[in-house]
Structure 1
Amino acid sequence: MQNNTKKWLFLLILSLIWGSSFILIKKSLLGLTPYQLGALRTIITGMILFAVGFSSIKHIARREWKWVVISGFLGSFVPAFLFAIAETEIDSAIASILNSLVPLNAILLGFAIFKIGFSKRQFLGVVIGFIGTSILILRGADLNPDQNYLYAGFVIISTIMYALNVNIIKTYLQNVKPLSIATGNYVAIMIPAIVILVITDFFTESTYTHPDFNMSLVYVAILSLFGTALAKVLFNTLIQISTPVFASSVTYLMPIVALFWGVLDGESFGVLQVLASVIILLGVYLANKRKA
């Protein structure tokens, strides 16, 4: 399969997986605290990656480990907690919409820090996508006036971290196998996650006896297997066969999937949000359209 076809296929698959992750986070929080969720998600994902890819970390050169560790904290560890905290106050669909800031941050940080250029068409596409995202945010605020949008700041911080991560992988880890990067990430962040899980009183009777505890574990397991372990490998591959801007544009498609799950779960959704989703798709098309 040619890279051009493969990158669009990966983009679609990741959109479906990550777009569904937000509702899984919301459901997991019914029986877990945000810190327990973030720690468990990291630990379960690490165990999965160690089982299938531990031998692959030998392909990581000593000089590359610094960037693998930084990538692990920026692209996996910290955002796992920040998104969980954010979704205690804002809808899962709104969190996904805010996540669409990643491509804009990827362009700006890529240019400012990593000296990665971008075309006028790419910038125009990102701006149009951002306009669509803004409409979704404003409409969401109108439909959900009781939500604390200060917690949206946790998602925005995560988007900056994600943007830094995609540029780090493209700049410093381009020749490292995607599975090696993903597994190496969790070598670095596994122990901190275990420490956090222990200090959150996870191993106490009050946690186990919560009526939603068992189902929350099921949701976290699904989230870890598909939304983190599999998606990390696919995303790292996508970065290497495309560009940071193209890879991060997955965040423009995710809200459409997340809004679908949100509606099924009773979250508010209107006609204006459909229009905003169309604007987002137009932005993705322009940002990734090849020159004639």
Structure 2
Amino acid sequence: MSGIKLKWLYLFVLSLIWGSSFILIKKSLLGLTPYELGALRIIITGLFLFAMGFKTIKTIRKPDWKWLIISGLFGSFIPAFFFAIAETEIDSAVVSILNSLVPLNTILLGFAVFKIASTKRQILGVIVGFVGTAILILKGAHLNPNQNYLYAVFVILSTLMYAANVNIIKKYLHHVKPLTIATGNFVALVVPAFIILLFTDFFSVATFENPEFKMAMVYVTVLSFFGTAMAKILFNKLVHMSTPVFASSVTFVMPIVALMWGLLDGETFSMLQGIASIIILLGVYLSHKKPPKYS
């Protein structure tokens, strides 16, 4: 398969996986608190990645550890808690829509901080995609007037962290294999996640007696394996073979998947949201370009 086709295949698979993550978070929160969910997601993902890539840890160079830790914090640790907190007040599909700010922030941070150039077509693609996202947000707010959109701040902050992470991987970790990056990320994350879990009520009798607890653990395990462990490896590969903006444009397609899950879960999907989804796909197409030169 050619490199171009492979990029789009990765983008499609990641969209399915991450687009499904929001409904899994929503279901996990029925039996877990946001802090329990965030900590468990990191711990379970870490166990999966250690099993797959512990042999690659010894290949990591000492100077790379700084960027691996920062990448792990921005790309996994903090957002795992922030998204869980956000979904206690905002519908899962709306959260996925807000997550579409990642490509815009990737361009802004890439230019301002990492000195990564973007073409006019790439910027146009982000703007078109952002217009589609804005329509989805406005329609979602109309359909869900009782949601507390102040919690959107947690999602917006996460998009800034994701944008920083994708630029860090492309700029400073492009020579490190995707599985090694993912495994290295979680070496530094599992211990603090476990400490946070100790300060919750996770180990109390009341938690285990919660009728929703068992299914919540199933959901968070599926979320950790597919939505974090496998997705992190695939995403790192996508960043390596494409541009930061193209890789982050997966967040433009994710809301379509999330909205479909929401529809199956009893949420409303309007014709206008369908049109917005088409606009988003157009933005993803326009954002694709040849790899830029780095200074």
Equivalent-residue separation in structure 2 for 1:219 and 1:165 (angstroms): 26
Equivalent-residue separation in structure 2 for 1:246 and 1:59 (angstroms): 28
Q: Kindly report structure 1 stretches of 4+ aligned residues shifted beyond 3 Å.
A: none
How many residue pairs align between the two structures? 291
Residue identity in the other structure for 1:154: F
Residue identity in the other structure for 1:237: K
Structure 1 equivalent of residue 284 of structure 2: 284
Q: TM-score, normalised by structure 2?
A: 0.97
Structure 1 equivalent of residue 90 of structure 2: 90
Structure 2 equivalent of residue 133 of structure 1: 133
SS at match of 1:62: coil
Q: What do residues 92-113 of structure 1 show as CA deviations (whole Å, max 9, x unaligned)? A: 1001000000000000100000
Structure 2 equivalent of residue 204 of structure 1: 204
Residue identity in the other structure for 1:174: H
Unaligned runs of 5+ in 2: none
Residue identity in the other structure for 1:124: L
Greater displacement, 1-10 / 277-286 = 1-10
Structure 2 equivalent of residue 56 of structure 1: 56
Equivalent-residue separation in structure 2 for 1:257 and 1:26 (angstroms): 15
Structure 1 equivalent of residue 166 of structure 2: 166
Alpha-carbon deviation of 1:187? 0.2
For residues 1-292 of structure 1, the aligned pairs below 5 Å read 1-288=1-288
Unaligned runs of 5+ in 1: none
* Percent of aligned pairs with the same amino acid: 69
Residue identity in the other structure for 1:142: H
Q: What do residues 184-212 of structure 1 show as CA deviations (whole Å, max 9, x unaligned)? A: 00001110100011101210001111110
Alpha-carbon deviation of 1:243? 0.6
RMSD: 1.0
Alpha-carbon deviation of 1:70? 0.2
The answer to whether the Cα contact below 8 Å between 1:39 and 1:193 also exists between their aligned partners in 2 is yes
Residue identity in the other structure for 2:233: V
Equivalent-residue separation in structure 1 for 2:9 and 2:279 (angstroms): 21
Residue identity in the other structure for 2:186: Y
SS at match of 2:175: coil
Q: What do residues 41-91 of structure 1 show as CA deviations (whole Å, max 9, x unaligned)? A: 000000000011011111211011000000000000000000000000111
Q: What do residues 130-177 of structure 1 show as CA deviations (whole Å, max 9, x unaligned)? A: 011011001100000000011111000000000000000000000000
SS at match of 1:168: helix
Alpha-carbon deviation of 1:289? 5.2
The answer to whether the Cα contact below 8 Å between 1:144 and 1:268 also exists between their aligned partners in 2 is no
Q: TM-score, normalised by structure 1?
A: 0.98
Alpha-carbon deviation of 1:2? 2.4
Equivalent-residue separation in structure 1 for 2:280 and 2:232 (angstroms): 23
Equivalent-residue separation in structure 2 for 1:184 and 1:92 (angstroms): 29
Q: What do residues 14-38 of structure 1 show as CA deviations (whole Å, max 9, x unaligned)? A: 0000000000000000000000000
The answer to whether the Cα contact below 8 Å between 2:243 and 2:290 also exists between their aligned partners in 1 is no
Equivalent-residue separation in structure 1 for 2:153 and 2:24 (angstroms): 20
